[in-house]
């Protein structure tokens, strides 16, 4: 029996964030820190604002808040919702539920469109909910639901929402930077993302951008609901010095600059193609092994794949076995614990990583008693890659 | 057609050194440097000396010279060979040839036992050469010939050499720290290794240890042949302050301490088992693909595997294709260029890395026109690992 080799520091991050980072990002974050109220830092910050825009196809300014992605979701609701506003939350996973929770703190008039975990939300469902609540001023959507691996049809839903005259808040935490997000064309009024997913940084930054319509709405919303995430303050400060209202996370901003440079160097089009192909290669492997994908066909994420743990396999043991072979994968969350496992394929996951993840996952499945033909998964991934390259 | 993704900084090093390093080694090397003529540094240096000994099973002191592994080979000859001494070089690859070249600088009486690249040297060949040159005072051997992937039978050859009354110098540059080296039991008189192979550091340190018999011999050798690698000076300095005669590579010594701690934490027995298993898994994959191994059976290295490029495949293109998929493998050297390719599986190569290397190698072979059944290689590696874990 071989002893275990991989320690905490050498686990490969195949969880859906934090993810593996490029060496240049580590390097940039280790630069000697500089004061944030300086011309030097302002230039770096503004450079990040400009370089971020093409990653989500927007002409709006982008704000980098010191905080997690959840701060961004919190900011969306507190800035866009007054205590009597009607809000519809589209919910098909743990992160949709998080937005639902936040919304209930700021208004009593929140309603949810809920579907089973693993299922996608359709424009028809949204239309029906809006018809039932015609005074709705805001609809929230989780673009890529990290807990289930479902990609919701954001552009189609946005059209319905805007036809109704409501605003749309989109949680793009695990889509932006890896999959396609067209903020302006899709008319996203309030965009939220986070640093530790497809943008390839450590956790600690929330990314926010919003439309003119959202700005107008914010001006009408009660300002005494929040302080730290008052986006009009951020907007005001950025339009002046430029500055941030509070101390920005200087080291992370250095990292962000490096990461955005790498992203633009690869090119968003190539980057999206790569993320989609890696998802496809991994899914082809699971299907070749006879493993059931958890997300409904037609709604499958390009950055996170969830799959059903076979009945003969203990989920925890299987995840621990992946860890024994050096790959950190994620379990299901809440009621999905023990039923599914999840693999993130973001940022630094290219052909060699997807082959490594695939082969370790099938080895772990085999070692945990799954009835699979060892090697069939990786062969399918190899064939998918061989066709694409 | 997908664009290329991996840049220079993200290539995985599957060449036979430098190799991938543990994050703790990077971290240690980035410590604020301290003066070398201090009690602080002396303690670190001595700690390295003590921690190195069990990795090669010796009670002798070990010396860490600022220089490459070739400095160690140079040091061996200049310290052990006077201008009229008779030396036998055992040569079956480019590194054996390097020792042959060094030897010819220091004595006119050097002889070589040469076999074809890919073949091993047997004790019988050595016996025959010693009988032909009975006044031989030194035999040199390349334990693990990196250029061909051949592991020579060092303990058996050492017995023959000592029965004859000669000294043995062993180049253990790509064996020590990963495969078994028993300096005292095997009676290695002069041991040489380097930092960038199984010890998992950047290039820049030569590791040297020698026996009492070697020390006696050194005292008789002309001292005007060398200065920088005069090992009696190193011995003298280490026995006093302790100190080194010249400035040691402080940052690399910090890294060495971290790496030796990791090696001892894993345990040499486990580490050797792991290196052997990874070699076995990779070889099983190549054999399943119908690829011919270059090294003679019974003499195959556990840290470097060389294989014959199929006739239908262009070696350079195949190596470039591995690089396209993020894996840096090595070509053949000298006359072996275009005929073989080499993969190093040292230091940080565990199950997940060997699966990754294997799958990328077979994808590259396929893309370059090899007549292989894509997936058969990785399946074989998976089966080998599944049995062992």
The Cα A39–Cα A46 span in angstroms is 10
pLDDT value of position B23: 97
Task: Answer whether B3 touches A (CB < 8 Å).
Answer: yes
Task: Answer whether B84 touches A (CB < 8 Å).
Answer: no
Locate B265 and state its tokens. 């934490």
Q: Closest to B274 (Cβ–Cβ): which among A2, A375, A385? A: A2
pLDDT at B75 > cutoff 80: yes
Domain span at residue A79 reads: 31-264
Q: Quote the longest CA-to-CA distance of chain A.
A: 67
Phi/psi at A339 (nearest 5 deg)? -105, -35
pLDDT value of position A225: 84
The residue of chain A nearest to residue B269, with distances taken between CA atoms, is A3
Give the CATH number, domain containing residue A115: 3.40.640.10
Q: Say if B26 falls within a structural domain.
A: no
SS3 percent helix, strand, coil of chain A, rounded to 5, is: 45, 15, 40
Q: Say if A24 falls within a structural domain.
A: no
Q: A265 Cβ partners below 8 Å, 6+ apart?
A: none
In terms of domains, do A59 and A91 share one? Answer: yes
Q: B320 Cβ partners below 8 Å, 6+ apart?
A: none
The residue of chain B nearest to residue A24, with distances taken between CA atoms, is B9
pLDDT value of position B375: 98
In terms of domains, do A124 and A255 share one? Answer: yes
pLDDT digits (tens, 9 = 90+) for A353-374: 999 999 999 999 999 999 999 9
- Domain boundary residue, one of A229, A247, A264: A264
Locate B142 and state its tokens. 């390349």
Confidence tier at B224 by pLDDT (50, 70, 90): confident
The Cα B328–Cα B316 span in angstroms is 12
On whether the CB atoms of residues A216 and A195 are closer than 8 A, the answer is no
Distance from CA of A149 to the nearest CA of B (A): 24
On whether the CB atoms of residues A257 and A180 are closer than 8 A, the answer is no
What residues of A are in contact with residue B350 (Cβ under 8 Å)? Answer: 5-6, 325-326
pLDDT at B222 > cutoff 90: no
Distance from CA of A239 to the nearest CA of B (A): 37
Distance from CA of B185 to the nearest CA of A (A): 26
Task: Answer whether B6 touches A (CB < 8 Å).
Answer: yes
Structural domain count of chain A: 2
Task: Answer whether B4 touches A (CB < 8 Å).
Answer: no
- Domain boundary residue, one of A247, A264, A281: A264
Q: Hey, which bits of chain B come out as E strands? A: 12-13, 62-66, 86-91, 109-114, 136-142, 144-145, 150-151, 167-171, 190-194, 205-210, 304-308, 327-328, 330-331, 340-344
pLDDT value of position B271: 98
Q: Say if B59 falls within a structural domain.
A: yes
Closest CA to A181 of A208, A149, A214, A143: A143
- The secondary structure of A47-92 as a DSSP string is HHHHHHGGGTT--S-EEEEES-HHHHHHHHHHHH--TT-EEEEEES
The Cα A333–Cα A340 span in angstroms is 9
Phi/psi at A195 (nearest 5 deg)? -75, -30
In terms of domains, do A245 and A333 share one? Answer: no
The secondary element (H helix, E strand) that includes residue B288 is helix B268-288
Q: Say if A26 falls within a structural domain.
A: no
- Domain boundary residue, one of A264, A296, A314: A264
Q: Say if B24 falls within a structural domain.
A: no
Say whether A325 and B352 touch across the interface (CB within 8 A). yes
The Cα A381–Cα A163 span in angstroms is 42
Task: Answer whether B31 touches A (CB < 8 Å).
Answer: no
Bridge partners, residue A114, by sequence: A91
Q: How many CB pairs under 8 A join A and B?
A: 150
The Cα B331–Cα B343 span in angstroms is 9
Q: What angle do CA B138, B148, B75 make, to 5 degrees?
A: 35
Give the CATH number, domain containing residue A300: 3.90.1150.10
Is the omega angle on the peptide bond into residue B325 within 30 degrees of 0, that is, cis?
A: no
Task: Answer whether B350 touches A (CB < 8 Å).
Answer: yes
pLDDT at B3 > cutoff 90: no
In terms of domains, do B148 and B227 share one? Answer: yes
* A303: helix, strand or coil: coil
Say whether B378 and A355 touch across the interface (CB within 8 A). yes
The Cα A129–Cα A353 span in angstroms is 42
The Cα B80–Cα B210 span in angstroms is 10
Distance from CA of A352 to the nearest CA of B (A): 6
Q: A384 Cβ partners below 8 Å, 6+ apart?
A: A277, A280, A281, A284, A285
In terms of domains, do A133 and A80 share one? Answer: yes
The residue of chain A nearest to residue B9, with distances taken between CA atoms, is A23
Q: Say if B1 falls within a structural domain.
A: no
Phi/psi at B329 (nearest 5 deg)? -110, 170
What residues of B are in contact with residue A22 (Cβ under 8 Å)? Answer: 9-10
The Cα B344–Cα B245 span in angstroms is 34
Q: Which of residues 208-267 of B touch A (CB under 8 A)?
A: 266-267
User: What is the pairing mode between strands B327-328 and B12-13?
Assistant: parallel
Task: Answer whether A8 touches B (CB < 8 Å).
Answer: no
Interface probe with B: pick from A356, A357, A366, most Cβ of B within 10 Å: A356
pLDDT value of position B291: 98
pLDDT digits (tens, 9 = 90+) for B300-310: 999 999 999 99
Task: Answer whether A359 touches B (CB < 8 Å).
Answer: yes
The residue of chain B nearest to residue A9, with distances taken between CA atoms, is B23
Percent of chain A exceeding pLDDT 90 equals: 98
Locate B128 and state its tokens. 């025959």
The Cα B359–Cα B371 span in angstroms is 15
- Residue located via tokens 């496809």: A280
Q: Closest to A5 (Cβ–Cβ): which among B266, B359, B375? A: B266
Say whether A2 and B388 touch across the interface (CB within 8 A). yes
Q: Say if A311 falls within a structural domain.
A: yes
| Displacement of CA B246 from its chain's centroid (Å) | 25
In terms of domains, do A115 and A208 share one? Answer: yes
On whether the CB atoms of residues B363 and B325 are closer than 8 A, the answer is yes
In terms of domains, do B317 and B372 share one? Answer: yes
Task: Answer whether B387 touches A (CB < 8 Å).
Answer: no
Q: Closest to A386 (Cβ–Cβ): which among B352, B367, B381? A: B367
Say whether A382 and B388 touch across the interface (CB within 8 A). no
- Angle formed by the axes of helices B69-80 and B94-106, to 10°? 40
Closest CA to B113 of B93, B129, B131, B134: B129
In terms of domains, do B38 and B91 share one? Answer: yes
In terms of domains, do A13 and A129 share one? Answer: no
Bridge partners, residue B318, by sequence: none
pLDDT value of position B1: 73
On whether the CB atoms of residues B357 and B327 are closer than 8 A, the answer is yes
Q: Closest to A386 (Cβ–Cβ): which among B327, B356, B374? A: B374
In terms of domains, do B228 and B240 share one? Answer: yes
Q: Closest to A374 (Cβ–Cβ): which among B327, B356, B386? A: B386
On whether the CB atoms of residues A374 and A362 are closer than 8 A, the answer is yes
Note if the pTM is more than 0.90. Answer: yes
What residues of A are in contact with residue B352 (Cβ under 8 Å)? Answer: 6, 12, 325-327, 356, 359-360
Q: Quote the longest CA-to-CA distance of chain B.
A: 67
Q: Give a three-class secondary structure readout of B89-120.
A: EEECCHHHHHHHHHHHHHCCEEEEEECCCCCC
**Number of residues that this document lists for chain A:** 389
The Cα A193–Cα A186 span in angstroms is 16
Compute the Cα dihedral for B46, B52, B57, B63 and give only its sign.
Answer: negative
In terms of domains, do B237 and B290 share one? Answer: no
What's the complex ipTM? 0.94
Q: Say if B141 falls within a structural domain.
A: yes
Task: Answer whether B383 touches A (CB < 8 Å).
Answer: yes
The residue of chain B nearest to residue A353, with distances taken between CA atoms, is B356
Bridge partners, residue B167, by sequence: B138
Flag residues of chain A having pLDDT under 50. Answer: none
Burial class (CB in 10 A: 0-12, 13-18, 19+), A239: exposed
Q: A21 Cβ partners below 8 Å, 6+ apart?
A: A200, A201, A202, A255, A259, A347, A348
| Displacement of CA A342 from its chain's centroid (Å) | 14
Distance from CA of B382 to the nearest CA of A (A): 7
pLDDT value of position B378: 98
Q: Closest to A352 (Cβ–Cβ): which among B325, B379, B386? A: B325
Say whether A360 and B362 touch across the interface (CB within 8 A). no
pLDDT value of position B199: 98
In terms of domains, do A303 and A367 share one? Answer: yes
Task: Answer whether B135 touches A (CB < 8 Å).
Answer: no
- For residue A40, the tally of other CB atoms under 10 A from its CB is 10
pLDDT digits (tens, 9 = 90+) for B84-122: 999 999 999 999 999 999 999 999 999 999 999 999 999
Say whether B5 and A273 touch across the interface (CB within 8 A). no
b/e sequence B98-132, b meaning 16+ C-beta within 10 Å: bbbebbeebbebbbbbbbebbbbbbbebbbebbee
Q: Which of residues 284-303 of A touch B (CB under 8 A)?
A: none
- Looking at every residue in chain A, the average pLDDT score rounds to 97
What residues of A are in contact with residue B382 (Cβ under 8 Å)? Answer: 359, 362-363, 366, 374-375, 378
Say whether B374 and A382 touch across the interface (CB within 8 A). yes
Task: Answer whether B8 touches A (CB < 8 Å).
Answer: no
pLDDT digits (tens, 9 = 90+) for A214-256: 999 999 998 888 999 999 999 999 999 899 999 999 999 999 9
Percent of chain B exceeding pLDDT 90 equals: 98
Locate A307 and state its tokens. 């799959």
Distance from CA of A36 to the nearest CA of B (A): 25
Distance from CA of A277 to the nearest CA of B (A): 9
């Amino acid at each position: 029996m071989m002893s275990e080799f991989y320690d905490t520091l050498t686990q490969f991050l195949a969880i859906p964030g934090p993810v593996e980072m490029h060496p240049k990002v580590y390097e940039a974050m280790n630069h000697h820190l500089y004061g944030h109220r300086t011309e030097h830092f302002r230039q770096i910050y503004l450079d990040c604002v400009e370089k971020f825009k093409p990653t989500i196809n927007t002409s709006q300014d982008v704000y980098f808040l010191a905080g997690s992605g959840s701060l961004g979701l919190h900011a969306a609701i507190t800035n866009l919702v007054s205590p009597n506003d009607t809000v519809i939350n589209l919910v098909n996973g743990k992160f949709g539920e998080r937005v639902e929770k936040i919304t209930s703190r700021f208004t009593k008039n929140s309603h949810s469109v809920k579907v089973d975990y693993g299922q996608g939300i359709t424009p028809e469902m949204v239309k029906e909910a809006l018809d039932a609540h015609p005074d709705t001023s805001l609809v929230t959507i989780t673009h890529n639901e990290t807990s289930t691996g479902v990609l919701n049809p954001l552009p189609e839903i946005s059209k319905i929402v805007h036809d109704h005259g409501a605003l749309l808040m989109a949680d793009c935490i695990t889509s932006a930077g890896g999959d396609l997000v067209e903020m302006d064309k899709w008319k996203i009024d309030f965009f939220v993302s986070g640093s530790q997913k497809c943008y390839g940084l450590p956790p600690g930054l929330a990314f926010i951008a919003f439309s003119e319509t959202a700005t107008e709405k914010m001006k009408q919303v009660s300002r005494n609901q929040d302080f730290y995430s008052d986006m009009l303050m951020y907007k005001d400060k950025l339009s002046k010095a430029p500055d941030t209202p509070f101390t920005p996370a200087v080291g992370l901003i250095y990292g962000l600059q490096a990461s955005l440079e790498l992203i633009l160097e690869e090119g968003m089009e190539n980057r999206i193609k790569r993320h989609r192909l890696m998802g496809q290669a991994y899914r082809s492997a699971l299907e070749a092994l006879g493993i059931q994908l958890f997300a409904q066909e037609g709604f499958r994420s390009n950055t996170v794949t969830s799959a059903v743990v076979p009945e003969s396999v203990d989920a925890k043991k299987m995840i621990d076995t992946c860890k024994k072979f050096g790959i950190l994968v994620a379990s299901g969350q809440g009621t999905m614990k023990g039923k599914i496992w999840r693999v993130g394929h973001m940022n630094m996951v290219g052909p060699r990583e997807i082959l490594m993840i695939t082969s370790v996952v099938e080895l772990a499945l085999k070692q945990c008693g799954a009835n699979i033909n060892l090697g069939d998964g990786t062969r399918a991934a190899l064939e998918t890659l061989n066709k694409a390259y």
